[in-house]
Amino acid sequence: MTSSPLLTLRVARKAFGGTVVLQDIGFALHERQTVALLGPSGCGKSTLLRIAAGLDRDFDGAVERAPALAGRPGSVAIVFQEPRLMPWLTVAENVGFLDGKRADRARIARLLEEVGLADWGEALPKQLSGGMAQRVAIARGLYTRPRVLLLDEPFSAVDAFTRMKLQDLALEVSARHEIALLVVTHDIDEALYLSDRILVMGARPGRIHDTLDVAVPHPRERTDMRLAASRVDVLKTLHDVRAF
Nearest distance from residue 169's CB to another protein, in Å?
8
Nearest distance from residue 3's CB to another protein, in Å?
25
The span from the CA of 244 to the CA of 239, in Å, is 6
Nearest residue (CB) to another protein, 32 versus 165? 165
Nearest residue (CB) to another protein, 132 versus 207? 132
Nearest residue (CB) to another protein, 76 versus 207? 76
Nearest distance from residue 193's CB to another protein, in Å?
9
Nearest residue (CB) to another protein, 35 versus 150? 150
Nearest distance from residue 60's CB to another protein, in Å?
21
Nearest residue (CB) to another protein, 32 versus 231? 231
User: 234 and 222 in contact (C-beta within 8 Å)?
Assistant: no
Nearest residue (CB) to another protein, 60 versus 221? 221
Per CB under 8 A, residues contacting another protein are 53-55, 73-74, 77-78, 80, 82, 84, 86-89, 91, 97-98, 100, 116-117, 119-120, 122-132, 134-135, 144, 158, 162, 164-166, 168-169, 171-172, 188-189, 219, 221-223, 225, 227-228, 231-232, 235-236
Nearest distance from residue 121's CB to another protein, in Å?
8
Nearest distance from residue 233's CB to another protein, in Å?
10
